[in-house]
Amino acid sequence: MLLKTFGWSFAVTVAGLALAGVLWGWQGLAIVGILSILEISLSFDNAVINAGILRKMNAFWQRIFLTIGILIAVFGMRLVFPVVIVAITAKLGPIEAVNLAINDKAHYQELVTSAHPAIAAFGGIFLLMIFLDFLFEEREHKWLAWIEKPMARMGKLDTLSIIVALVVLLVSAMTVATSVAHGGGDKSATVLLSGVAGLITYLVVGGISGYFEDKLEEDEEDDAVAAAASGGAVNGTPPVPRKGAGAVMGMAGKAAFFMFLYLEVIDASFSFDGVIGAFAITNDIFEMALGLGIGAMYIRSLTVFLVRKGTLDDYVYLEHGAHYAIGALAVILLITIKYEINEVITGLVGLVLIGLSFWSSLVRNRREGKPGSDAPAKSEVTSGV
């Protein structure tokens, strides 16, 4: 199971480190290794969030996530994205931007860093919306009940998450964006525009994927009703039992496609801090893409591992911890518009929150005699896809 899931990640690691050693020597090999560890530490919460979405998809779309998805993650976000940002913000042609990235690395790094306020505002608001929609939703299991119960009641106002996100964006534009650490000057207009773009992106992609997911649920419920009325079968096919309230197993077609797009946008938002943070280690885009790409491979393999092991079903507070980590990352991204925050702090915040949620899940399982505890299980729990 472990080798099957992480085999490609192990192979890419060996090949990537070997290539780094050949091209850039021991120093390059060390840089690529450090970048890989940086990406994994910053994105562990990303794997948990991705697993919560990926487990709804069928095997075909899970393979798409591991193949086409990883190409987008490695070459799109870790190699092409920084060059595109430079081309847009510096008003350069794509060829000129690539030439700058290869031949004038110091100036290229300066231009990418100056684009940080726009990147942080877009990614910060997008991630904040994910956290707020989770926080304001009524759910069966509550980790921090003293926070989640009142927030769920407040969440009955459908537009509350949008209102809160816009207020946070406005406050950010009026405070941290007035005198930024990256590029200097007043970036209020840039932050406002980028934040609104992040909000619109979330509403469009998340809204479309949610629409198809809800429609699929309705179709399944209609089939179940028709099956009950006809003696338990629809068109001669018995209904497939669902593995949990609100879960859509084996999602395919348009629903899976838009959910895949949603996953990729989430991954892009998570990668922003990693790409910017990588410039503290190297300004060579190829070293950066290779190191962060290796880390991205492990995050995707970990996502599939969590899905196939049914970890989120067995440890019910993991998703809570990951979403709180997302909220923390969103706030950190907005703060870094003006203030420098070490990537180690960003990574530790996420790991601590997920670690605490995992420990809380263990305590709950031990109390109820469920998987993950030393006590005998009282009932069989479905795990994996």
In this predicted structure, the answer to whether residue 198 has a pLDDT above a threshold of 80 is yes
Residue 325 has pLDDT above 90, yes or no: no
Mean pLDDT across the chain, nearest whole number? 78
Query: Which amino acid belongs to residue 90?
Result: A
Using DSSP's 3-state secondary structure scheme, residue 240 falls into coil
Q: Output DSSP code: residue 113.
A: H
Q: What would the pLDDT profile of 20-73 be if each residue is shown by its tens digit? A: 889 888 888 888 888 888 787 777 777 888 888 888 787 788 788 878 887 887
Confidence class for position 132, pLDDT limits 50, 70, 90 = very high
State the average pLDDT over residues 278-294: 80
Q: Which pLDDT band, with edges at 50, 70 and 90, does 195 fall under? A: very high
pLDDT over 80 (residue 270): no
Distance CA 186, CA 115 (A): 13
pLDDT for residue 383 is more than 60: no
pLDDT classification of 162: cutoffs 50, 70, 90: very high
What does the pLDDT read at residue 234?
A: 46
**Rounded distance between C-alpha atoms, residue 338 and residue 45, angstroms:** 24
Residue 299 has pLDDT above 60, yes or no: yes
Nearest CA to 127 among 354, 289, 359, 350? 350
pLDDT given at position 47: 83
Which residue reads 């990235």 in tokens? Answer: 101
178 versus 371: the higher-pLDDT residue is 178
Instruction: State whether residue 132 is helix, strand or coil.
Output: helix
Q: In angstroms, rounded to a whole number, what is the distance separating the alpha carbons of residues 306 and 317?
A: 14
Q: What is the pLDDT of residue 196?
A: 94
Asked whether the beta carbons of 102 and 168 are under 8 A apart, the reply is no
Separation of alpha carbons 356 and 362, rounded Å = 10
Q: In the chain, pLDDT over 70 holds for what percent of residues?
A: 82
**Of the candidate ranges 70-79, 88-97, 224-233, 275-284, the one whose mean pLDDT is the lowest:** 224-233
- The predicted pLDDT at position 128 comes to 92
Residue with more model confidence, 277 or 59: 59
Which value, to the nearest 10 degrees, does the dihedral of the CA atoms of residues 45, 46, 48, 51 take?
Answer: 180
**Which of residues 235 and 306 earns the better pLDDT score?**
306
Give the mean model confidence (pLDDT) for residues 315-342: 87
Residue bearing the bigger pLDDT, 348 or 192: 192
Confidence of residue 235 (pLDDT cuts 50, 70, 90): very low
pTM value is 0.75
Cβ contact 238:223 at 8 Å: no
Helix (H) or strand (E) holding 225: helix 188-229
pLDDT band at 371 (very low <50, low <70, confident <90, very high): low
Candidates 94, 162, 89, 161; CA nearest to 119 is: 89
